[in-house]
Amino acid sequence: MSFDLSARLAARRAENLYRQRPLLETPQGPQVVVDGQPLLAFCNNDYLGLANHPQVIEAWRAGAARWGVGGGASHLVIGHSSPHHALEEALADLTGRPRALLFTTGYMANLGAVTALVGQGDTVLEDRLNHASLLDAGLLSGARFNRYLHNDAVSLAKRLEKATGNTLVVTDGVFSMDGDIADLPALARETKAKGAWLMVDDAHGFGPLGANGGGIVEHFGLSLEDVPVLVGTLGKAFGTAGAFVAGSDDLIESLIQFARPYIYTTSQPPALACATLKSLELLRSEHWRREHLNVLIRQFRKGAEQIGLALMDSATPIQPIMVGDAGRAVRFSQMLRERGLMVTAIRPPTVPAGSARLRVTLTAAHSEAQVQLLLDGLADCFQQMGAEPNHA
């Protein structure tokens, strides 16, 4: 008996679900070279345009000169450097919480937090459209796992009635494939009423949302009691890499003691923490980045609606265009690429069957003229796509 991997790969190709890695040959930014082709890109999560910012680059360079390159060991052995500690304090200040804890990746932060907080005899309730890392964390925790209807506090309340043990309610802040925002006030109300805890992964909210870029919790003016566990990633609007969990002193101490993905991993490079400290400073002080981004979002939505594209209910930099059929979505993306525009087709299993889409992401580094080029390309391709049969 052997693994028939070739048959699995062939099946994925036949279903228009085969994925390939584009080779980026330039730094992140609106204008890139991918697989040798110059393109205007609308598919990264560098929402504030900080991934290639000269001050962030210089902070990393200076950090490497001062602290070296590797983390050297796990945080609990000898890998917890001064820059890591300073970044944790700055992230606690950003979120208005007593403490924050650095993780090497967002996936690890979600896995670590959920599995450290609940186990056998407990309950995890998650939004149906949560990120894969949250769903995997719930399944791996050993707790009773259930999903409530997307962004539906009534559906959550019904599941809370049946919950046993310690109960953790988990939601994305901004849903990465739809771009919509969680109804946190309603979710927090139902969760607190049952004595459960609410955990929010605000990977796509930090930076674009909140008066100071503090994300969805700042956007809604919620407290530590409303959202005891707040997760953020640093590889999106912060423009660097890694992740963090922010919360009470007891929460952070518990994660240090019990979160296996934290305990058993080498710390991120200290110079990376130096770079993130600089990007955090820019995120908080340069309000024009959020303001410009909001102008571009409004411009895109107005133009896309005039073309007749099927948009989703999103006021964030994530602007999906619904296509439906996976093959059609791939063709749409390829036609745009032939015109020098890079927009990724998102297909199952990342999104539900029949809901393939183009995922447009806007950043503060884009100009209004570049967004207009995108709209012109979409209009041209959409007109041509209309003549093609839908194979759904």
- Which residues are known binding-site members for substrate? 19, 131, 350
Q: Does 236 qualify as catalytic in the annotation?
A: yes
The b-or-e profile of 46-83 (16+ CB within 10 A means b, else e) is bbbbbbebeebeebbeebbeebeeebbeebeeebbbeb
Q: Report the candidate in 211, 214, 218, 150 with the shortest Cα–Cα distance to residue 178.
A: 150
CA 275 to CA 240: how far, in whole Å? 7
Bond into 30 cis (ω within 30): no
Per the annotation, the verdict on 176 as an active-site residue is: yes
Nearest-5° angle of CA 38, CA 43, CA 45?
125
Q: List residues forming the annotated binding site for pyridoxal 5'-phosphate.
A: 106-107, 176, 204, 233
Give how far Cα 156 sits from Cα of 174, 219, 265, 316, Å: 18, 22, 34, 24
Tokens 């390159």 belong to residue? 69
Q: Rounded CA gap, 322 and 345, in Å?
A: 10
- Residues 236-266 as b/e (b if ≥16 CB within 10 A, e otherwise) read bbbbbbbbbbbbeeebbebbbeebebbbebe
Gap between the Cα atoms of 53 and 126, Å rounded: 36
User: Residues 367, 236, 346, 168: is their CA dihedral positive or negative?
Assistant: negative
What count of Cα atoms within 13 Å lies in the side-chain half-sphere of residue 249? 1
Count of CA atoms in the C-beta half-sphere (13 A) of 196 = 28
Of the residues 236, 278, 292, 366, which is catalytic?
A: 236
Find where tokens 């411009």 sit: 299
CB-based contacts of 232, cutoff 8 Å, min separation 6: 91, 95, 201, 202, 203, 205, 206, 215, 243, 244, 246
The residues assigned a catalytic role are 176, 204, 236
